[in-house]
Structure 1
Amino acid sequence: MKHRWVYGAIGTLTAAALVGSVASPVQADAANVAEGQGTSKVAEQLRLVMDQLGFQEVLDTAPPSTAQLRTMRNPVDKDGKQARAFAAADPKPIVQQPQMDATIIELDRHGRPVSSGTVLMSPTYKNGVVVPVDRNLSTKSVRWRQWDDAGWYKNKGQGTIDVVPGRENAPLDHMLDYPASVLKLMVNFGVLRLVDQGEIKLDDTYAYNPTEISPLCGNATSNTVRAYMDASLTWSSNGASCALIKLLHDHKAVDPLNKTFQDLGLETLQLKGTRASNGGRWSNEITMSSLDTAKLLTLVNGAAGTLWRAPSGKRVKADDVLSPASRKFFRDELAQQGFNDMLSSTNWCGGDYPAPGLPNATPSRWIGADGTVTVEGNKFGRDVRPCNKKAEVTFAHKTGWVNNSAADAGIVHALPGQGGRSYVIVVFSNLGTQYIDAGRPQTPPGIYPFSYTEKFAKLGRAMDTFEKGRARH
């Protein structure tokens, strides 16, 4: 990409909408106007696509009754006990605009950020609102709140617990979506920090001996740190991730990790409330915004020189945060992702549903002789080889879901001869497995069920097409 860092006024959007036509020029949102800023092209395109995809058209397979709302509590170990809601006798339209938080950071050919866009959507911002972001990929314009399961229904998507202090007067107010298994990015980052500090080695054997057994974490296991990380990142093993969190606790590294995030200017990244006894208790205290997650992945992607300045004024450089070897290991593991079924949908190649997403290839590790994908016993049942042959990008990413959370975060690079775009994309939403598209087909017995609305795949494809066009100029 040849364009310079963009943060000031851009003017009206000129690129055609990828999912519909533009009725009138898009104006800068009220918050940006108040701060004297315009919006970047990627920010406005992201907002436009999110608005036109109509996420509010999904159906809720398990809307709570009034009586259930009175007694609803925020669960702990959210990833451990949440049953998939793949079918319902009488699904209802979603009661209000879904909660969404999405960021794209555009990178130059050296991996340096050159422009970004962050968009929030909620019952308060039904058409999406662009977040003002400065040269340090930071914003003080949002009062970030912790996710509240019942509060989304009872309080019109308005949270009550602040994540970042001192933002009471911010012009925007947003309840962060629960990050689900994308939280494993923070966990593995923390473990690699221990590797770089010489506390542990990737090939050390770690005996996971929980003093409390939980459904999320399972029983005692023993494996190398490398193997635990591979299972955590490529097929989202909760047991392996609990082991890694307990490893962090064993080294008294959780609080320092949270402080490191703060010191790097990643204020919303907080791995809080987990249990030292077993690495479990993944509750709403664990928070991530799309912007800070995208910044974390920008560090993992790596580049020479200063990427941004921290709140202290210190220059943040990739090599000072993670060693080149650790960053390469992290990227390589994310590139082996088995679940390509949210922003990318290549695991579902060739069917009428879901729509095509980001045009990446499913890693060969998961592909059988018949071309179908099986991820740790989860069979997708479609031949992905035609989509792999048409792949245009690599997508090193991590997905996550529970019933009221959908998440995908990754690094995109064009394959040779495929347009040259490089960017980080992160999407968080409350539209987890509880929400479905009208008319969604049933999967055959024994086949992994659809996890997300296909609107996420459409969002991934639309923004990748936009980035491909941007890279040509």
Structure 2
Amino acid sequence: MLTATMVQPADAATHKSSALAARLRAAMVAQNFGDLLDTTPPGSAQARALDAQPESESGRPKHAPALSAAAATTIHQQPQVDTTVIELDKKGRPVSSGTVLMSPQYKNGVVVPVDKNLRTTAVRYRLWDTDQWDANNGQGTTDTVPGRENAPIDFMEPYSASIVKLMVGFGIMQLVDKGSIKLDDTYAYTPTKPSDRCEGATTRTIREYFDRMITISDNGSACTLIKVMHEHGGVDWLNQQFQDLGLDMLQLKGTDPANGDWSPQITMSSLDTAKLLMLINGVSGTAWTAPNGKPVTSDILSTSSREFFLKELGDQGWNNVLSTTNYCGYSYPTQGMPQRIAQRWIGADGTVTVNDDPTDGKYQYPVQPCQDAAQVTFAHKTGLTAFAAGDAGIVHSLPGQANRNYIIVSFSNLGWRYQDANRPNPGVQPAVNRTEKFAKLGRAMDGYEAQK
């Protein structure tokens, strides 16, 4: 039986999850996602130009500025947003959770009911299709989880973009634990098929590919590691494991063994992604019970693999969605959750450089004021395309700060196609290629957690 988001694992403290879900829903409604501007309105010349481009997943797509300069109109319907927060105790065990979905059908958000294993059968998840979202009132037509035809909530899940790299990383670390590969193995990537997303032949260690995939969201490295997984039978095995664990929406489907490229068939939900992060973070005892009745624990990864994964997530370079420390000193976007970022990105002049792109990789102002004011760490992964923007990570308080331990994941279709009405003219400061509404959401939820 499904309950109102109450989480009661046998070995965890209990908490009224309904309060968390209600707070999350209120915070999402407060963002007024429906007042965003669409730079490529359906049917416009700009939309046709974007459709002609190959799918791009980058910190700053090279063709974005021209589209951003186009005359924009208010988004024509409520966007798709899927957000989960799971609160943890000091041993990493789930205390409470809240999952809220927004769409044209659920303009004020709908709380997703979950059972004691943080699982839901109340949502009929549909595969993302931008054209269907534009023209079909946000309704999808392709089911991603079988047997949900009579589920009370019908929701087309936004594309996960680069957050898919969490699944890839999880699969790679399991291959390491099995002894199939080693992090310091040198691997020569030799694709047998060209790809717009993947790079040409390269040779690096698995560790280097992993670091580039997570910290700077390098697509070529992700392609390489997916190809490695295919060569060891790891992709099909991983997909089956996700199903066995009850993580129905984690599906690394449609990947190409010739080059490691991936397709829009890949799916993730905020709830299942948050549960995956809970395993990476570490849980004392049973995290939840799988559909086959077996306990799910953090032993699914070795301690060393979890620690390596967490360090990589903590070294994230793109701190610009739920957290915005990279933009310290800017008038826009607003400050997100008060995160302390990894020192590796901060240069001698105190500014952040992730890559050499002056519009989204090199930041203008010293970040030390925000580092000094930081209250939390955020081990996370972001994602961005024209049609998708999201963030997924683990939050812990810094010493001396109000205690918080929680996971937050948000997926949306609000990629760089959409802008805030209050975004400064790019001539005033470099353009920001995503909405600041997720920074506001991250700040609101972190403030809620800090007060508890």
The answer, yes or no, to whether TM exceeds 0.5 is: yes
TM-fit CA distance, 1:274:
1.1
CA distance in 2, matches of 1:6, 1:111: 22
Is it true that 1:171 corresponds to 2:149 in the alignment? Answer: no
Residue of structure 2 aligned with 1:336, choices 300, 315, 322:
315
Give the corresponding residue for 1:405: 388
In structure 2, the CA distance between the partners of 1:61 and 1:74, relative to structure 1 (3 Å rule), is closer
Is it true that 1:108 corresponds to 2:86 in the alignment? Answer: no
Is it true that 1:235 corresponds to 2:216 in the alignment? Answer: yes
1:420-431 matched pairs, under 5 angstroms:
420-431=403-414
1:299-310 matched pairs, under 5 angstroms:
299-310=279-290
In structure 2, the CA distance between the partners of 1:72 and 1:382, relative to structure 1 (3 Å rule), is closer
Letter in 2 for 1:404: F
Give the corresponding residue for 2:230: 249
Name the SS for the 2:432 alignment partner: coil
Is it true that 1:261 corresponds to 2:242 in the alignment? Answer: yes
The answer (yes or no) to whether the contact 1:73–1:149 under 8 Å persists in 2 is no
CA distance in 2, matches of 1:335, 1:215: 29
Give the corresponding residue for 2:271: 291
TM-fit CA distance, 1:78:
4.8
Residue of structure 1 aligned with 2:129, choices 148, 164, 167:
148
TM-fit CA distance, 1:283:
2.2
Give the corresponding residue for 2:26: 48
The answer (yes or no) to whether the contact 1:59–1:437 under 8 Å persists in 2 is yes
TM-fit CA distance, 1:449:
3.6
The answer (yes or no) to whether the contact 1:145–1:160 under 8 Å persists in 2 is yes
CA distance in 1, matches of 2:52, 2:139: 15
Give the corresponding residue for 1:461: 443
Structure 1 vs Structure 2 CA RMSD: 2.2
Aligned length in residues:
435
In structure 2, the CA distance between the partners of 1:72 and 1:370, relative to structure 1 (3 Å rule), is closer
Name the SS for the 2:220 alignment partner: helix
Gaps of 5+ in 1: 10-37
1:22-421 matched pairs, under 5 angstroms:
40-65=18-43, 77-79=55-57, 83-84=63-64, 87-280=68-261, 282-319=262-299, 321-377=300-356, 378-421=361-404
CA distance in 1, matches of 2:49, 2:342: 44
| Cα deviation code 1:169-209 (max 9, x no counterpart) | 00001000000000000011100010011100000011100
The answer (yes or no) to whether the contact 2:5–2:21 under 8 Å persists in 1 is no
| Cα deviation code 1:365-390 (max 9, x no counterpart) | 01111111100222011211100001
The answer (yes or no) to whether the contact 1:6–1:115 under 8 Å persists in 2 is no
In structure 2, the CA distance between the partners of 1:366 and 1:70, relative to structure 1 (3 Å rule), is closer
Gaps of 5+ in 2: 8-15
Residue of structure 2 aligned with 1:438, choices 413, 418, 421:
421
TM-fit CA distance, 1:451:
2.3
| Cα deviation code 1:126-178 (max 9, x no counterpart) | 00000001110100000000000100011111111111000000000100000
CA distance in 2, matches of 1:284, 1:72: 17
Q: Which runs of 4+ in 1 moved over 3 A?
A: 5-9, 66-78, 80-83, 442-445
Query: Which range is displaced more, 225-234 or 71-80?
Result: 71-80
In structure 2, the CA distance between the partners of 1:214 and 1:430, relative to structure 1 (3 Å rule), is same
Query: Which range is displaced more, 67-76 or 249-258?
Result: 67-76
In structure 2, the CA distance between the partners of 1:424 and 1:79, relative to structure 1 (3 Å rule), is same
In structure 2, the CA distance between the partners of 1:331 and 1:6, relative to structure 1 (3 Å rule), is farther
CA distance in 1, matches of 2:257, 2:232: 10
Give the corresponding residue for 1:450: 432
In structure 2, the CA distance between the partners of 1:201 and 1:102, relative to structure 1 (3 Å rule), is same
Name the SS for the 2:30 alignment partner: helix
The answer (yes or no) to whether the contact 2:6–2:116 under 8 Å persists in 1 is no
The answer (yes or no) to whether the contact 1:342–1:457 under 8 Å persists in 2 is yes
CA distance in 2, matches of 1:106, 1:182: 21
TM-fit CA distance, 1:351:
2.1
